Structure 1
Amino acid sequence: MDFAFDTRTEELRAKLLAFMDEHVYPAEAVAEEQRALLSSPWDTPAVVEELKAEARRQGLWNLFLPDEEYGAGLTNLQYAPLAEITGRSPQLAPTALNCAAPDTGNMEVLAQFADEQQKKQWLEPLLAGEIRSAFAMTEPEVASSDATNITTHIERDGDEYVITGRKWYISGAMNPDCRIFIVMGKTDPDGADVRRQQSMVLVPRDTPGVTVRRAMKVFGYEDHYHGGHAEVVFDHARVPVTNLIGEEGGGFAIAQARLGPGRIHHCMRLIGMAERAIELMCRRAVSRTAFGKALAQQGVVHNWIADARVTVEQLRLLVLKTAWMMDTVGNRGAHTEIQAIKIATPRAVVDIIDRAIQLYGAGGVSQDVPLAELYAGARTLMIADGPDEVHQRSLARRELKKYL
């Protein structure tokens, strides 16, 4: 395993680091000022569109998509250090590069499974950053970490599908630019194979019967930059059968294909969040005096900083190994490693950010530094894309199987 960055990765890293310094970090305060003046909290600040235009001009666009026809054609190993850099400003940088969830996963689904008409109608404007999208799977009444539990009905009626169900924490759905939902539901609820009961269909936001009911907060945050997280009701919403993605019964397999890259992208960005927290921790330690000496002179602070650095270096190597395996043996071959980083990375990054918050005292939980929002995002990823316990259960079973 050779994790040295190749020439293309080095070039993109240098360009992206400069883009962050020159454009993204200065835009963080500007975006907040502009958002306070918007008529709707879900509208996009003008500076975000400026960042998108500049990123596209510099060739820092759709870096996440390995398909050379639609994206940058980077491998997971090439994209990993770039995603890490964007994680330092998770609210602005991924969106600026058109590399923000849930659009990334949705574009991957469309690129891999959609037909040509679906690609033209929905994938192309998503790739251009002209619209946003949402992925509607999670439901409040069932444990959605097991996708076979999904209860939303997708019933065929002639040349149409009728969708009925209630979803929540549907990321991106509050954004007025969100024009399309990828909805997962059951087309064959009584089928013998529980992993062939589900299908995915494309449901335009303006379809009669689709109601975005309310925004769901996360630790009190509404996550405006990613379009929020919404409760969405589908009340006999009708779409043509041509809106089916792939085949009937293929929804579970498509969901698994979507979640593999999504999990590693989250972990890549989490490492960037940890690096931002370490930077803030060190800046605070050398600038703040308590009880007659700088915090940087306190032994416990030394321990926090040293432990954080060791942890990040360990996590980065595990994520790079996972990326390398996904490139060489595929998502299925890297199943153990994908689960390992999904378990290890969020919990470790939460701990690092927590230490940084402690070092800032009251300021750490305020809006004046990004630590509280970073904490909320990292802690949520211990649940999103499958809670830790589900991955631990699956990984342990795979380990035990060797001895049974």
Structure 2
Amino acid sequence: MKNTALSHIHEALGAKMVPFAGYNMPVQYEGVNIEHETVREGVGVFDVSHMGEFFLKGENALALIQKVTTNDASKLVVGKAQYSCMPNNEGGIVDDLLIYKVGEEEYMLVVNASNIEKDWNWISQHNDLGVEMENKSDEYSLLAVQGPKAAEALQSLTEVDLINMKYYTFDSGKFAGIDNVILSATGYTGSGGFEIYFKNEDAEEIWNAVFEAGKDFGIKPIGLAARDTLRLEMGFCLYGNDIDDTTSPIEAGLGWITKFTKDFVNAEAIKAQKENGVSRKLVAFELKDKGIPRQGYDIVDVEGNKIGHVTSGTMSPSMKKAIGLGYVPTELAKTGSEILIQVRKKALKAEVVKLPFYKK
């Protein structure tokens, strides 16, 4: 199992450590609910250095990205980032990712930790365009500093204007005295903040500087468990739960990042799905009966027949309601539809709702 450059700090802080995507990661420090609230109300720091970073360079870098991803990366200018996904040949998703345009012919792709090798092989297999590719996943650390007080807490560490940085834009510059740090107004929590990319050798220095700068703002370290409850309240997909090699972008509600103004892997089949409809869809639901839905639980009809499954579920710390995502037949995907979640021996009533669950 791999450690991040900061694993020893998490252990020293008393974090509960768990194996995650091949890494030794902090799942919680004080407790999920407290950490969740810290991010919603103030500012918290996640070590997400397990994520992968690929750099693509050259005159055909954009053409390769356009071929393997569904969103239209030609819309990017230097300093902008984009959410996208890579479709496979069977109608499913290889991974979801962020694409950063870092130079006129240079891009950084940020991929899920569990898919680094798979994604690298997939993109390489399609690289018949002479694009220079570098996998720098093992060289980079990544902190997600999230919450409404994030910009204020970090601004003293850099001359980059964080306060006015727009969502899904980024800049690179000096941060905490370290050169060439990428500061990105992105995140996975729905409460604003930044993702900060830097070399492993600077990890401890940057971690300490962030906590020193943020101490007047109540900054705290946050584990992966709260990252999961925060993203679920927003309805953000988690690869391996809500999307995978068998779920299409159309079924998963990712039509908004699927642009047919260009050609990409399996575009025709996915376009046919968009035009003809799909038999199942990913929906958000709230439980009406008492209980907590968990990943893998069956979704059933009134006769008890399985009609789908829960992909993510929790008790929402912000709203004190049981919430979840799951695939159901399309005819039950409309807001207000009633579905039943099989929790042990009981079929509990749930209602399909609009995302996000959490409204600021």
Normalising by structure 1, report the TM-score.
0.24
Of structures 1 and 2, the larger Rg is shown by 1
Higher relative contact order (CA 8 A, sep 6+): 2
More strand by share: 2
More helix by share: 1
